[in-house]
């Protein structure tokens, strides 16, 4: 087992009382299901003792995580075009089109961003997140377009995951949301967890949730919509979609969190949400780097329609 994959953490107050699997996921930069598999395999210890996935952690405890050696890749390389914004030996920035799934999963075994990355990068992707998520440090939804940061080796992955945990990665989105926002700017600070009855949805809830913070600024108020900029302080699943719905302004075109769609929104075939900017400290050079992408056609076309 390579020593670089053996990680130790001290539990801080922000994780006091949380489940072990949730904390391992947050601190190691791996998915929760991957964290649960590690715990079940005895690869996670709290204060030197093997823990259970539902065990609650306490401030000051020592968490030891042994990340597995990368396995032979199971996702297959596919010759799918990529819009590469930047690439070097450590990272690659991809502008993901709306409609593309990030990694293979049930119902989407191929045709994903990971399949395209494997074809482009060969074996040069981090293996920390397992054989179907090589290189994936963070994700954006299938029907969200925009910039995605990918790690090309384990050292870069751990560095980027630590920056995400520390909330130092700058992530800005643009969206069109339903209704006219009253305030020019604001902050939504509301914890997000699994929906109590719809297991494929997330919700603002106090039960088994994690803190979630989204900042927003109005770009332009339209007739029945608002064009907004959104800045993520945390990165929970569906965070922007859940938070904007929570304050009564769901993202246009989002049938999951926005309910019934009018004809214009239904024509979007997905939410009007674009990951426009990402900034981070390069894992090797220590230089701050920032990249942005133009709004895609579906977004600008919808803006023009709702302005009239």
Pair (19, 54) in one structural domain? yes
Work out the percent of the chain whose per-residue pLDDT is above 90. 64
Pair (57, 88) in one structural domain? no
Q: What is the C-alpha separation between 259 and 173, in angstroms, rounded?
A: 22
Q: What is the C-alpha separation between 294 and 244, in angstroms, rounded?
A: 22
pTM of the model: 0.75
Known catalytic residues? 141
Number of structural domains found in the chain: 3
For 81-95, b/e burial (b = at least 16 CB within 10 A) is ebeebeeeebbbbbb
What's the length of the chain? 308
Pair (178, 271) in one structural domain? yes
**Angle 282-28-160 (CA atoms, 0-180°, nearest 5)?**
10
Q: What is the C-alpha separation between 31 and 34, in angstroms, rounded?
A: 5
Residue where a domain stops, chosen among 66, 96, 118: 66
Pair (176, 225) in one structural domain? yes
Pair (184, 303) in one structural domain? yes
- List the domain range (segments joined by +) for residue 61: 3-66
Residue where a domain stops, chosen among 103, 135, 158: 158
Pair (21, 89) in one structural domain? no
Which CATH number belongs to the domain containing residue 53 in this structure?
3.10.290.10
Pair (102, 52) in one structural domain? no
Which CATH number belongs to the domain containing residue 252 in this structure?
3.30.2350.10
pLDDT digits (tens, 9 = 90+) for 61-82: 999 999 876 555 467 888 999 9
Pair (124, 144) in one structural domain? yes
Q: Could you report the average pLDDT of every consecutive run of 10 residues in the chain (308 residues)?
A: 67 89 84 88 93 94 84 74 96 94 75 89 78 80 94 93 91 97 97 83 88 97 96 93 97 94 91 97 97 97 91
């Amino acid at each position: 087992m390579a020593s670089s994959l053996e990680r130790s953490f001290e539990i801080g107050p922000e994780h006091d009382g949380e489940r072990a699997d949730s904390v391992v996921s947050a601190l190691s930069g791996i998915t929760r299901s991957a964290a649960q598999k590690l715990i079940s395999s005895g690869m996670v210890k709290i204060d030197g003792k093997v823990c259970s996935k539902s065990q609650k952690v306490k401030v000051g405890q020592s968490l030891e995580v042994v990340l597995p050696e990368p396995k032979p890749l199971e996702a297959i390389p596919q010759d799918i075009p990529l819009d590469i914004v930047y690439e070097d030996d450590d990272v690659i920035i991809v502008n993901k089109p709306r409609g593309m799934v990030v990694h293979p999963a049930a119902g989407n075994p191929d045709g994903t961003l990971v399949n395209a990355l494997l074809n482009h990068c060969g074996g040069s992707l981090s293996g920390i997140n397992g054989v179907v998520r090589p290189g994936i440090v963070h994700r954006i939804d299938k029907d969200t377009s925009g910039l995605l940061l990918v790690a090309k080796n384990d050292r870069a992955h751990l560095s980027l995951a630590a920056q995400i945990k520390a909330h130092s990665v700058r992530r800005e989105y643009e969206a069109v949301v339903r209704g006219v926002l009253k305030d020019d700017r604001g902050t939504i600070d509301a914890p997000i967890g699994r929906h109590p009855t719809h297991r494929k949805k997330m919700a603002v809830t106090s039960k088994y949730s994690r803190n979630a913070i989204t900042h927003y600024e109005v770009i332009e108020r339209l007739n029945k919509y608002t064009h907004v900029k959104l800045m993520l302080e945390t990165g929970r699943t569906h965070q922007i979609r859940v938070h904007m719905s929570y304050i009564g302004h769901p993202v246009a075109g989002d049938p999951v969190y926005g309910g019934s769609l009018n004809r214009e929104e239904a024509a979007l075939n997905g939410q009007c949400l674009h990951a426009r900017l990402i900034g981070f400290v390069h894992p090797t050079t220590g230089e701050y780097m920032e990249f942005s992408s133009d709004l895609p056609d579906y977004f600008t076309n919808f803006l023009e329609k709702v302005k009239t």
